[in-house]
Amino acid sequence: MTTANNYDAIIIGAGVHGASLAFHLARRGVKVVLLEKKFVAAGATGRSSGLVRMHYDVKEDCELAWGSFQYFRNWKETVGGDTATSLSPGFTRTGFIQLVGREDVDKLKANAAMQKEIGIPVLLIQAEDVRRLAPSFFTEDIELAAYEPESGYAMPTDTTNAFIHAAREKGAQLIQDCAVTGIVISGGKVKGVQTTQGRFDAPVIVNAAGAWAGKVNEMAGLELPYDTWRHDTMFVARPQPIGPSHPTVIDFANEMYFRPEGNLTMVGLEDGNPLGESPDNDTDHAKKGFVERGIERICKRIPSMENGALHSAHGGYDGITPDQHPMLGAAGPEGFTLDCGFSGTGFKTSPAVGLCMSELILDGKSKTVDLSIYRPQRFAEGKHITGEHPYSSIWK
């Protein structure tokens, strides 16, 4: 064992959450190494749809998204780095519209009021306002919508690389093609990890392995309710009459979300997403039938998409928990920490989660946003996370 493989902290997984945590730890002088079994953003991050919005029905989710938004729109000030070489997340402001069915309008009002108390810029708008923002949208089924004028989307892989670039400037290391094969534990404490590139030692090990995090938990002797879920997306070339862009939208009424990217529109569905599959399955292609369902849904909201053209479609896997919220915090042997289980909604909160996790690890408590509701022990305690005015589950 050489001193070169001794660290203060080891992070398993170079997705956006591992990268954010590496940056925030390195910024505080921690000697940290990021171990990645494949390459940067090879898992859920690389397949993320990249929405940057603040609308949730759980206050802490909103606080994390709002805190993270400050990074996306002020990257140079919040992440910094050598301006000549530093990277950016590619944030694009489109405005964001949250659409709900009529049965959820009262919940929408209550959640928007909660978000305003946090400081989130959100407006409740009528169908005619939606038409003004997006003339191509069908709005006869809309009673009320929530609108975030400052929101939009960012590029997940770019965001991850930008965090890693900044982390490395502060002394962090990244080792790719380095799969963790075991957790070294002695006296009830973690000592390091065994990998395909040898052993690495540290008193703190963070599991940020996304869809593979369940296997890493097992290596640490943990039995937690953790699964995988698959999510397909497609890109459609917009017909010219729709225009050069449109708002980013979550459309609960049609169990769908979509956003622009250049002359394309990305579409994802909130139903028909299989659980329990191997994350090593094919993700270069969407599941059979997905494209047909996606086209039908997007044409309901934007009828003129009937004249669009399919550009591409693919799949992806993420870790999911029973309440569809992440596991954040210590569990199992001393020094082992979880930063996983984001259930498909983790990209937009990654900057603030990384900051809060660094506080939790170094200070014993997260000060920026209280992460205690996300503690992994909540499932054994029977305390699933739910909002005061929850929408129905969108994972079906």
Question: Could you tell me the fold of the domain covering 92-151+228-320?
Answer: D-Amino Acid Oxidase; Chain A, domain 2 (3.30.9)
Quote the pTM value: 0.95
Alpha-carbon distance of 304 to 135, in angstroms, equals 11
Alpha-carbon distance of 165 to 279, in angstroms, equals 27
Position 272 scores a pLDDT of 86
Give the lowest-confidence range in 1-15, 271-285, 307-321.
Answer: 1-15
Q: Which residues contact residue 108 at a Cβ distance below 8 angstroms, ignoring those fewer than 6 apart?
A: 98, 100, 124, 144, 145, 146
Position 113 scores a pLDDT of 98
Q: Which CATH class is domain 3-47+157-227+321-378?
A: alpha beta
Alpha-carbon distance of 283 to 270, in angstroms, equals 17
| Cα angle, residue 184 at apex, residues 180 and 190 outer, rounded to 5° | 110
Which is more confidently placed, 94 or 395? Answer: 94
Position 3 scores a pLDDT of 47
Position 84 scores a pLDDT of 52
Indicate if 92-151+228-320 has the same CATH topology as 3-47+157-227+321-378.
no
Q: Contact, 17 vs 350, CB < 8 A?
A: yes
Beta bridge mates, 51: 153
| SS3 state of residue 383 | coil
Give the lowest-confidence range in 148-152, 203-207, 229-233, 388-392.
Answer: 388-392
Q: Contact, 242 vs 309, CB < 8 A?
A: no
Position 2 scores a pLDDT of 43
Q: Contact, 242 vs 302, CB < 8 A?
A: yes
Query: Can you tell me the mean pLDDT for 317-330?
Result: 97
Alpha-carbon distance of 13 to 212, in angstroms, equals 9
- Mean pLDDT score of the chain: 95
Q: Contact, 49 vs 259, CB < 8 A?
A: yes
Give the lowest-confidence range in 86-95, 201-210, 333-342, 385-394.
Answer: 385-394
Q: Contact, 100 vs 253, CB < 8 A?
A: yes
Residue 119 reports pLDDT greater than 70:
yes
The confidence band for 87, taking pLDDT boundaries of 50, 70 and 90, is: confident
The confidence band for 92, taking pLDDT boundaries of 50, 70 and 90, is: very high
| SS3 state of residue 79 | coil
The confidence band for 82, taking pLDDT boundaries of 50, 70 and 90, is: low
Position 81 scores a pLDDT of 56
Position 83 scores a pLDDT of 52
Query: Can you tell me the mean pLDDT for 268-280?
Result: 93
Query: Can you tell me the mean pLDDT for 71-77?
Result: 94
Residue 282 reports pLDDT greater than 70:
yes
The confidence band for 293, taking pLDDT boundaries of 50, 70 and 90, is: very high
Residue 246 reports pLDDT greater than 60:
yes
Map out the domains of the chain as residue ranges: 3-47+157-227+321-378, 92-151+228-320
